[in-house]
Amino acid sequence: MHFRLFYTILCFLLITTISAQSTFPNNGPADPRPNNVMLRRATVVVAPGNVQTGTDILVEKGRIKAVGKNIALPQGCQEIDCSDKWIYSSFIDLYSNYGVTSWQPIKSEQGRGQKLLSEKPGAYYWNESIHPETNAFEYFVSDEKEANNLRGQGFGVTLSQIKDGISRGSAVLVSTGEKTPSSNLIIDERVAQGLSFSKGSTNQSYPSSQMGSIALLRQLYYDGIAQDKATDEKNLSIEAWRTNANLKSIIAVNSWQEVLRAVKVAKEFNKTYIVKSAGDEYQRIDAIKAANTPLIIPINFPEVVKSDDILDLDKISLEQIKHVALAPRNPGILSQNGIKFAITSDGLKEIKEFREKLLLAVDHGLDKDKALAALTTVPAELIGESAQIGSIEAGKWANFFVMDKNYFDKKAKMTSHFVQGRKYELYNLPDSTRDGKFLFSTSIDNDKYNVHITKSNKEINLVYQDTLKYKGIISVNNNKINFSLDPKGSLDGKYWSCSGRLDGKNYYGIGQNQEGASFTWTMTLVEEIRDKKKEEKADSLILMPETKVLYPFVGYGNEKLPVAEKVLFKNATLWTNEADGILKETDILIENGKIVRYGKNLSEAGAKVIDATGKHVTSGVIDEHSHIAISNGVNEGGQESSAEVRIGDVVNSEDVNIYRQLSGGVTASQLLHGSANPIGGQAAMIKLRWGVTPQDLMIKDADQFIKFALGENVKQVNWGIQGRNRYPQSRMGVEQVYEDYFSRGQAYIADRKANPNMRRDLDLEAIAEILQAKRFITCHSYQQGEINMLMKVADKYKFRVNTFTHILEGYKVADKMKAHGVGASTFSDWWAYKYEVIDAIPYNGAIMHSVGLVVAFNSDDAEMARRLNQEAGKAVLYGGVPEEEAWKFVTLNPAKLLHLDSHMGSLKAGKDADIVLWSDNPLSIYAVAEQTYVDGIKYFDRAEDKIKQATIAQEKMRLLRAMDKMSAGGMKSEGVRPKREVLYHCDSEEE
C-alpha cells in the first residue's frame, strides 16, 4: 500500500496542471492528463466561521469541483487521506509587487540641476510620477524562490503592482504557483490601479512635497475629466487614466492622517479608495471609523525596545515606545470598531515573519475568524473576485493549504499548499522534523524495526526484537530524511540506501539494497519526543504592556479631549484691545466657547472660579506667519508657481509645537507655504486645538490666503547648481512671473465664463481667485524695490496685496504701503542675517505703526512663536510704542490682517474665548502663560504641565523596563532609534 501511495505522490508532483488548452508548443510528447485529486475527511475551514469536519474536497482541472462528505471518487483521481489535517483557503495579499520587479523607472539623461519635464519618450504625461499607462501584467514573471516563500506563509494569490509613483498604473492578480509560461498564473490582468502620495524614484523637480503630490493627483483627475470632454491634446497617459477609472483604486499612505487626506481627495471626485495604511489607525480610531473606507493594513509591528543605557530615555520619545506596545493591538481595535480591512505582508523584513506577527495580533485582541477574513474573503470582496478566490467552494480556484493542526495553534505546521490545483510540498519549512520513536518497515522485508530519530542524529540504529541489527549514517533536514546502512555495522552484511520525507506524523520514501533492487519504506510514529522547554515557550502568551492612547499621540497628549467650561476669572488685569483699554481688578466670564462679559464683582452660578489677583488676562496670541503643524514639506519649489498646492491638505495635528506654542499663549496661526518660488501655495488658518484631528484644527469660514515671495529665495541664489534651471533667475524675472500669471489668470476667468466645461487648471484657478478678491496675498519680502514692484503689479491688475510679511525695509516705503492699503507683519529685531536684509533696523515696526499701517510681529519659527509676547515688548523698547498698542502687534493686528478680527483678537462679549492667563504683564520677559484657552477649552495649564512631564518620564521608564524583560525572555528586540524632529522655515526643502 505504501509503495502505491509513494509512487502516486511522486507522479502527482511531476504532472503540470493543465486547466485549458495552451497556445504554447510542446517540446516532446504532451501530457494531457488532468491533475485531479480528492482530499478526504479533513477539517475544512470553508470560510471564516464555517468549519466543516470530516469533509472531502474534489479538485479537477485546477478548480474545486465539490466540497462535502463522502463524495464519489472519479475514475483516475488521486486520493489523499487528510483525517488529521486542517485545510484553509489560501491567503490573498492586496498590496504586493511579487513578480513585477523587472519594471524600471525612466533613466534620466539630464545631469545635475532641476529636471522640469518628463524624459519619457512619447505622448505621455508631463510628469514622470504619473504613469497610469503602466500595466503590471506586462512585467509579470514568476519567481520560484519568492513564490515558495509566499506559499510557505499561506499566500496563494497576490495583487501585484508597480510600487512607484503617484499614479502607478494597473495591478495584476496572480497566483503564487510555478508555471511556464507565466501567463498561466495570471488570474485577472487588470484588477485595480495603484496610487500614492509619493512621487517615487523620478528625479523630476516637481513635486517636492506631499502637498505637491496631492495637488498633482487632484489635477490629474481634472485632466481626465477634460479629456473626457475632448481636448486637442493627444495624451496616452490621460487616456489610460480614464480607462483605469473603472478599476478599484488602491492608494498607499504612511499614517492615519494620510488616510484622512486620501479619503478627502476621494470624496472630492466621488470615489472610494481602498487605503493601504500604516498600522497606526488605533491612534485616531473614531476618525478612521467615520472615514468609512476599507483598509489594507500591515502587521510589521516594531520589535520591543531594548535599552541598556539610561541616556536612551532622552533619545526616544514616549510615542515611539507606546507605538511598540499598541501596534499589535491595531488589527483588533479596527475589527472591534467594525472597520473593514484586509491584511498585507508588505513592510515585513522577511516574509517568514508573517505568521508570527499575525498570531501576535491575535494574542492582542484580533478575533481568529476576523484574521482569516482579512486574508481571504475580505480581500476577494474588495477587488470583486469573490467568485474565483477567497473561500473553499465549488467553482473557485483550488487554492488552499493544509495544516497539521488548527492554524492558530502556535505549534501547527503547514504540510502542503495547493495553488490552482497543484500541490506544493513545503520544502523550506523551518524545523518541521518529527522527533520520536518510529517503527521501520520495507516492502522487501517482513521484519519491523524500532528506530529513534531526531534532527540532531548523525547515526541510525535499527533494533529488531531488542537486538541491534543495522547501523548507519542519517541526515534530517526540515521534512527530508536520508540515511544509509553501513554493511560493516550490520549483522548480516546488508546495505540499504534510503531517502524520503515527512508527511504528517510519518516518514515515507524509497531505497535501494546492496543488489540494486528498489523498494519502498515507511517509518510510522510510535511515540513523539517533545522539547518541553520549547513547547512551554511557544505556548506562553507574551503580551505587550498595557498603555493608553493619547490625543494627540505624543507625550503631552490627553487620554480624553478637554471640553469647554464655564470659567470666571476674578480680579485680573484685562488687556481688552478695545475702547476700554487695560482694566485692573476686573472679572471676566467665559461660557460655551465665547466671552460672555467682563466687569467688576461678577458672579455666576456653576462657574469654575479662578483667582487671578495680580495676574493678567488677554486675548490669545495670533501668529500671522507660521510653519508648524505641516507634514512632509513646507515648500513646493519644483516650479515658479505652486498656487495649486494647499497647506490645508497636509496639516499635522500631532506636531508637539502646537502644545509648546500654547505654553506661550498662542491660540491661532496662519500656516504658510515657504518662499521657494514667486507664487507659493495656499495657506491654512488653524486654531491650536491640541488633540483634535487636522480638519478640526482649521478655522471654519476663514478667508482664503496664498503665499507669494520676493528676493533671494525665489530666484534660487543660494541653491547652487541645483537652482540654475528653473525660472526666474533674477529679480526682473520675478516681476515677469507675476505679469505672466496675472494676465493668464484674466484670460482663464474669461475662458471659463465662456466655456464652463473647459479644463480646470488648479494653478490658474488660485490666481483667478486673487483677481476676484476671493483669495488674499501674504508676500515674503525684504527690499523696497521689490515691494514697490508687487504693489504696482497689483494696481495694474486691480487687486490689493493684503500683507507684506518680514517686510524689513517697510520703514522705507511705509507711505506707499499705506496708500496701497497693505498691512505689515514683520520681525521685531532681526537684521544682518543675510545680505538682502542689510538695511533692516529694529525700529521698523514702530515706524510703520506711526505711519498708520496695521503692523504685526510674526515668528516664522517654531521656537520663537513660544515667546511672541516678548517680541511685542520689543516694540516698546525700539520706538516707544505704547504698551497697549504693542500688545496688539501679536493679537488684534494679526487678526485684522487675517480677516479674523470679527471674532478674535480682543476681549469683547460674543468673541471667541481664546484667552490667556499670564503670571505678569504679558510684555515682560518674566511673564509666563499659566493657562491658555481656545474656544473656551483649556488646552494648556502650567501646573498640569509639570505633572505631565513627570508622568512622561515615569511611563517611559515603565514601558522600557517591561520591554527589557520581554527581550530577556526571548522576544525579538532592537535598540533605540531616535526620532527626527523637523522644524520648517521659509527656505526649508524636503523631498
Q: Are 142 and 156 in contact (CB under 8 A)?
A: no
Between 829-838, 893-902, 944-953, the lowest mean confidence (pLDDT) is in 829-838
Average pLDDT over residues 629-646: 95
More confident residue, 545 or 979: 545
Is residue 534's pLDDT more than 60? no
Predicted local distance difference test score (pLDDT) of residue 6 = 41
Rounded Cα gap, residues 673 and 647, in angstroms: 7
Give the model confidence (pLDDT) of 766-806 as tens digits. Answer: 999 999 999 999 999 999 999 999 999 999 999 999 999 99
Rounded Cα gap, residues 709 and 874, in angstroms: 26
Rounded Cα gap, residues 472 and 486, in angstroms: 5
Report CA 683 to chain centroid distance, whole Å. Answer: 24
More confident residue, 219 or 305: 219
Q: Which residues have a Cβ under 8 Å from the Cβ of 689 and sit 6 or more positions away?
A: 696, 697, 934, 935, 937, 939
Is residue 533's pLDDT more than 80? no
Residues above pLDDT 70, as percent of the chain: 90
Rounded Cα gap, residues 861 and 841, in angstroms: 19
Q: Which residues have a Cβ under 8 Å from the Cβ of 944 and sit 6 or more positions away?
A: none
Is residue 573's pLDDT more than 90? yes
CATH fold of 701-902: TIM Barrel (3.20.20)
Rounded Cα gap, residues 813 and 820, in angstroms: 11
Cell representation of residue 474? 542519517
Provide CATH 2.30.40.10 ranges for the chain. 555-620+905-946
DSSP 649: G
91-106+114-425 placed in CATH 3.20.20.140: yes
Predicted local distance difference test score (pLDDT) of residue 226 = 82
DSSP 771: H
With CA atoms as reference, report the closest residue to 491 among 448, 446, 461: 461
Q: Are 251 and 196 in contact (CB under 8 A)?
A: yes
HSE-up (13 A, CA, CB side) for residue 365 = 16
Q: Which residues have a Cβ under 8 Å from the Cβ of 588 and sit 6 or more positions away?
A: 568, 569, 572, 574, 595, 597, 598, 602, 617, 907, 915
With CA atoms as reference, report the closest residue to 655 among 631, 686, 638, 676: 631
**Domain at 555-620+905-946, CATH class:** mainly beta
Q: Are 319 and 554 in contact (CB under 8 A)?
A: yes
Q: Say how many C-beta atoms besides its own lie within 10 A of residue 685's C-beta.
A: 23
With CA atoms as reference, report the closest residue to 193 among 167, 173, 217: 167
Type of residue numbered 975:
G
Provide CATH 2.40.128.20 ranges for the chain. 436-529
Is residue 428's pLDDT more than 50? no
C-alpha distances (whole Å) from 551 to each of 195, 258, 561, 635 are: 29, 17, 7, 28
Is residue 432's pLDDT more than 50? no
With CA atoms as reference, report the closest residue to 501 among 482, 518, 526, 527: 482
Average pLDDT over residues 75-84: 94
Give the pairing type, strands 414-419 and 422-425.
antiparallel
C-alpha distances (whole Å) from 795 to each of 355, 730, 732, 742, 852 are: 67, 22, 18, 12, 20
Is residue 12's pLDDT more than 70? no
Q: Are 892 and 900 in contact (CB under 8 A)?
A: no
The CATH label, of 1.10.3720.10, 3.30.590.20, 2.40.128.20, 3.10.20.30, for the domain at 436-529 is: 2.40.128.20
C-alpha distances (whole Å) from 904 to each of 203, 651, 952 are: 45, 21, 34
Buried b or exposed e, range 839-864, using 16+ CB within 10 angstroms: ebbbbbbbbbbebebbbbbbbbbbeb
End-to-end CA distance of the chain: 67
Cell representation of residue 767? 490666481
- Local confidence band at 814 (pLDDT 50, 70, 90 cut-offs): very high
HSE-up (13 A, CA, CB side) for residue 196 = 26
HSE-up (13 A, CA, CB side) for residue 577 = 27
Q: Which residues have a Cβ under 8 Å from the Cβ of 877 and sit 6 or more positions away?
A: none
- Local confidence band at 598 (pLDDT 50, 70, 90 cut-offs): very high
Is residue 427's pLDDT more than 60? no
Predicted local distance difference test score (pLDDT) of residue 115 = 83
Give the model confidence (pLDDT) of 355-383 as tens digits. Answer: 999 999 999 999 999 999 999 999 999 99
Average pLDDT over residues 27-49: 84
Provide CATH 3.20.20.140 ranges for the chain. 91-106+114-425, 701-902
Residues above pLDDT 90, as percent of the chain: 74
* Entry pTM: 0.89
DSSP 928: -
Mean pLDDT of the residues in the chain: 91
Rounded Cα gap, residues 416 and 424, in angstroms: 6
Cell representation of residue 888? 496688539
Give the pairing type, strands 295-298 and 273-276.
parallel
Q: Are 197 and 213 in contact (CB under 8 A)?
A: yes
Type of residue numbered 181:
P
Exposed/middle/buried for residue 944 (C-beta within 10 Å: 0-12, 13-18, 19+)? middle
Predicted local distance difference test score (pLDDT) of residue 111 = 58
Cell representation of residue 835? 545680505
Q: Are 661 and 866 in contact (CB under 8 A)?
A: yes
Rounded Cα gap, residues 678 and 530, in angstroms: 73
Rounded Cα gap, residues 370 and 329, in angstroms: 13
Predicted local distance difference test score (pLDDT) of residue 236 = 96
HSE-up (13 A, CA, CB side) for residue 308 = 5
* H or E, element range at 686: strand 684-687
Rounded Cα gap, residues 187 and 172, in angstroms: 8
Phi–psi pair at 650, nearest 5 degrees: -130, 30
Phi–psi pair at 476, nearest 5 degrees: -125, 120
Predicted local distance difference test score (pLDDT) of residue 481 = 84
Q: Say how many C-beta atoms besides its own lie within 10 A of residue 390's C-beta.
A: 28
Q: Are 143 and 98 in contact (CB under 8 A)?
A: yes
Rounded Cα gap, residues 140 and 132, in angstroms: 17
Report for 252-266, 439-453, 516-530: range of highest mean pLDDT: 252-266
Rounded Cα gap, residues 218 and 642, in angstroms: 13
Q: Are 315 and 978 in contact (CB under 8 A)?
A: yes
Predicted local distance difference test score (pLDDT) of residue 429 = 43
Predicted local distance difference test score (pLDDT) of residue 482 = 85
Give the model confidence (pLDDT) of 282-313 as tens digits. Answer: 999 999 999 999 999 999 999 998 877 777 77
Predicted local distance difference test score (pLDDT) of residue 169 = 98
* H or E, element range at 448: strand 445-453
Predicted local distance difference test score (pLDDT) of residue 470 = 74
Give the model confidence (pLDDT) of 904-914 as tens digits. Answer: 999 999 999 99
Cell representation of residue 414? 503547514
Is residue 540's pLDDT more than 60? no
Q: Are 173 and 192 in contact (CB under 8 A)?
A: no
Give the model confidence (pLDDT) of 311-362 as tens digits. Answer: 777 788 999 999 999 999 999 999 999 999 999 999 999 999 999 999 999 9
Cell representation of residue 359? 498570531
Rounded Cα gap, residues 48 and 390, in angstroms: 10
For Cα atoms 66, 68, 73, give the angle at the middle one, nearest 5 degrees: 65
